[in-house]
């Protein structure tokens, strides 16, 4: 792109931007900055990016910054905007790929921080396959107010409590004003922080990437180190394909289960793996869930937040604890230039109330469970670690809604009672389209004090902040003629999370009869990006990737 007399026109364009001959001669490092002014996790990424660029220059490279889009899941929640959230993952991957491949960067640094931006950039990183590193913007702090640690979920649940008449509008405003105290990805083990932690485990982020709070100076130092480290990766020609092996994804699944990550990780890890030429499916995920102990109950599963995980030793300490039962591959290459074993050599748990001793876990099985049955033959997913003991096994009548909007109105209007099983369908990748997150309904149920009495099941998905018996990703989805479309009001639904079962107590013959009468509804959106996305997207059970 820049060497030889034939590339004089190319160099002249660099010089038009003020680049010197020395800068042009140095390795060019693409810096994908997701900074924007609509996502709290991104509002400060300009500072992270400047630190990365400083690190690149210190190590002899020339940083070249470009932008990337992002959707704020919280702001997009509960309306048309949420249909674009998961779908934006593919746009982020495609646009970063286009920038990376079109400009022949010698190396790349990706700076994400929030739900779809992290996996989107990881997908692009795998496709481009030049020496690369990821450094996130870090998690938001949780602050204590009136004796309770607050986060975004606190506000959603406060709305449910207000609708139930248990708190006042002034109290809701108190939550609103203090739950999100500053920049960073929302403070629990929600999707953004789950993926930032798993980036660290995959070996694509430096130790601390997932847990150092956004406002700490240590985050700036980490960004400078990432900038310097990418130059070492370029020099040694260590590419993502050297790091993203099947064993690296096994490590990610192990830590996913130990941390109790968001159910959205079950969408994103297979999608990233697919880009790396590795297959990760629900059967593999379930196998890890069955044998990896759950060591952390971070919000929404418990009161601890990411800052507490950081103070207790971080992701590396969790990994060190897991080695006591030989659950990790230790000889794998990472962006530090060292192996997993070398990275965690000095790690230790400093607070066993946050990271449980592996001999005394919260449970002997992982934080995520895959369920199957006659209404979910290809699988459904639940964050087992955030389900109340009373709801691990449950039977109740189906309350059927063909959109999230219908369901939340019924919840707010007091039409849901103890024992009910709420079904929200036609919200899958195709049916939504876009597989909306449904933090509104789950938070309303929790805020009304029904999370230990009512289950929610959907072919859509739930926020990483959701808690309770919230079962998502039902596959095949209703829009594709999955048997979930056969469920009718009043059918008795049997949920058995410990044994991985999800069934309607309806005969196979009756389900077949109902489906013989079924007709696919008219697609909700047929134009624009979502119209194209709906035609191309695959099942949630395969990561909702776009079909070739």
List the beta strands (DSSP E) in 406-536: 421-424, 455-458, 470-475, 492-496, 501-504
Tens digit of each residue's pLDDT (9 = 90 or more) over 355-380: 999 999 999 999 999 999 999 999 99
* Residue whose C-alpha is closest to residue 372's, from 473, 297, 453: 473
Residue 205 has pLDDT above 90, yes or no: yes
- Smallest Cα–Cα separation from 222: which of 244, 196, 240? 196
- 214 pLDDT band, cuts 50/70/90, is very high
Pairing of strands 107-111, 62-67: unpaired
pLDDT at 1 over 90: no
Confidence band of 489 (pLDDT split at 50, 70, 90): very high
Mean pLDDT of 111-125: 97
Locate the DSSP E strands across 383-491: 393-401, 421-424, 455-458, 470-475
H or E element in which residue 377 lies: strand 376-382
Q: Which residue has the higher pLDDT, 237 or 440?
A: 237
Residues annotated as catalytic (active site), given as ranges: 463
Q: DSSP assignment, residue 437?
A: B
**Is residue 184 within 8 Å of residue 41, measured between CB atoms?**
yes
* Number of other CB atoms surrounding residue 103 within 10 Å: 13
Dist CA 140 CA 40 (whole Å): 8
**Local confidence band at 210 (pLDDT 50, 70, 90 cut-offs):** very high
Write out pLDDT tens, residues 381-415. Answer: 999 999 999 999 999 999 999 999 999 999 999 99
Tokens found for residue 400: 């059927």
What is the structure's pLDDT at 464?
82
pLDDT of 257 reads 97
Distance of CA 152 to the CA centre of its chain: 16
Contacts for 389 with CB less than 8 Å, ≥ 6 apart: none
DSSP summary character for residue 96:
H
**CA–CA dist 466, 246 (Å, integer):** 29
User: 498: buried, middle or exposed (CB in 10 Å: 19+, 13-18, 0-12)?
Assistant: exposed
402 compared with 467, residue with greater pLDDT: 402
Q: Which residue has the tokens 């985050």?
A: 219
State pLDDT tens for residues 36-63.
999 999 999 999 999 999 999 999 999 9
Give pLDDT tens digits for 421-435. Answer: 999 999 999 999 999
| Percent of the chain whose pLDDT exceeds 90 | 95
pTM of this structure: 0.96
Decide: 290 and 370 in contact? Cβ < 8 Å. Answer: no
pLDDT at 440: 86
Mean pLDDT of 238-243: 98
Note the pLDDT of residue 548. Answer: 78
Q: How far apart are CA 379 and CA 372, in angstroms?
A: 5
Give pLDDT tens digits for 252-300.
Answer: 999 999 999 999 999 999 999 999 999 999 999 999 999 999 999 999 9
Residues 6 or more apart whose Cβ sits within 8 Å of residue 330: 323, 339, 340, 341
| Average predicted confidence (pLDDT) for the chain | 96
Token pair recorded at residue 377: 């033959």
The pLDDT assigned to 465 comes to 82
Lowest mean per-residue pLDDT among 95-99, 172-176, 544-548: 544-548
With tokens 């800068």, the residue in question is: 23
Residue 466 has pLDDT above 90, yes or no: no
Could you tell me if 487 and 397 are in contact, meaning their C-beta atoms sit under 8 angstroms apart? no
User: Tens digit of pLDDT for each residue in 73-117?
Assistant: 999 998 999 999 999 999 999 999 999 999 999 999 999 999 999
Burial call 176-189: b when 16+ CB within 10 Å, e when fewer: eeebbbebbbbbbb
């Amino acid at each position: 792109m820049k060497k030889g007399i034939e590339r004089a026109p190319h160099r002249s364009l660099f010089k038009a931007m003020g680049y010197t001959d020395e800068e042009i001669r140095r390795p060019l490092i693409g810096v994908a900055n997701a900074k924007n002014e609509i996502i709290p996790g991104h509002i400060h990424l300009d500072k992270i990016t400047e630190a990365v660029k400083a690190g690149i220059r210190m190590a002899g490279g020339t940083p070249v910054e470009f932008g990337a889009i992002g959707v704020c899941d919280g702001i997009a929640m509960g309306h048309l905007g949420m249909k674009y959230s998961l779908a934006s993952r593919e746009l982020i991957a495609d646009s970063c790929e286009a920038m990376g491949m079109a400009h022949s960067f010698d190396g790349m640094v990706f700076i994400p921080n929030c739900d779809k931006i992290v996996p989107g950039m990881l997908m692009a990183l795998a496709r481009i396959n030049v020496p690369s590193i990821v450094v996130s913007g870090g998690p938001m702090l949780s602050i204590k107010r009136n004796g309770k640690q607050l986060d975004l979920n606190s506000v959603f649940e406060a709305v449910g409590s207000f609708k139930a008449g248990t708190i006042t509008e002034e109290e809701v405003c108190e939550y609103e004003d203090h739950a999100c105290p500053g920049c960073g990805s929302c403070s629990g083990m929600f999707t953004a922080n789950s993926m930032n932690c798993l980036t660290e485990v995959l070996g694509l982020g430096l130790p601390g990437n997932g847990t150092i709070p956004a406002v700490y100076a240590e985050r700036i130092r980490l960004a400078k180190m990432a900038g310097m480290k990418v130059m070492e990766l370029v020099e040694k020609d260590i590419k993502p394909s050297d790091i993203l092996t099947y064993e690296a994804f096994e490590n990610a699944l192990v830590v996913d289960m130990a941390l109790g990550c968001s159910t959205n990780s079950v969408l994103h890890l297979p999608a990233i793996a697919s880009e790396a030429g590795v297959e990760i499916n629900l059967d593999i995920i379930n196998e890890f869930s069955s044998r990896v102990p759950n060591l952390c109950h971070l919000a929404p599963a418990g009161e601890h937040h990411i800052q507490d995980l950081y103070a207790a030793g971080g992701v590396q300490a969790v990994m060190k604890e897991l080695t006591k039962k030989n659950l990790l591959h230790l000889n794998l290459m990472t962006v530090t230039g060292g192996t997993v074993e070398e990275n965690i050599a000095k790690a230790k748990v400093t607070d066993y109330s946050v990271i449980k001793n592996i001999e005394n876990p919260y449970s002997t099985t992982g934080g995520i469970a895959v369920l199957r049955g006659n209404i979910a033959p290809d699988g459904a997913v639940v964050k087992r670690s955030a389900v109340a003991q009373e709801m691990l096994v449950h039977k109740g009548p189906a309350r059927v809604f063909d959109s999230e909007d219908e369901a939340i109105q019924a919840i707010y209007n007091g039409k849901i009672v103890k024992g009910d099983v709420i079904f929200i369908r036609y919200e899958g990748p195709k049916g939504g389209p876009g597989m909306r997150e449904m933090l509104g309904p789950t938070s309303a149920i929790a805020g009304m004090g029904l999370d230990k009495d009512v289950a929610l099941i959907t072919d859509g998905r739930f926020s990483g902040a959701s808690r309770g018996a919230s079962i998502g990703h039902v596959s095949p989805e209703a829009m594709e003629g999955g048997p979930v479309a056969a469920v009718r009001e009043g059918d008795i639904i049997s949920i058995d999370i410990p044994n991985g079962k999800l069934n309607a107590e309806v005969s196979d013959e009756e389900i077949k009869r109902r489906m013989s009468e079924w007709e696919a509804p008219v697609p909700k959106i047929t134009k624009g990006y979502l119209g194209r996305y709906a035609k191309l997207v695959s099942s949630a059970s395969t990561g909702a990737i776009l079909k070739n």
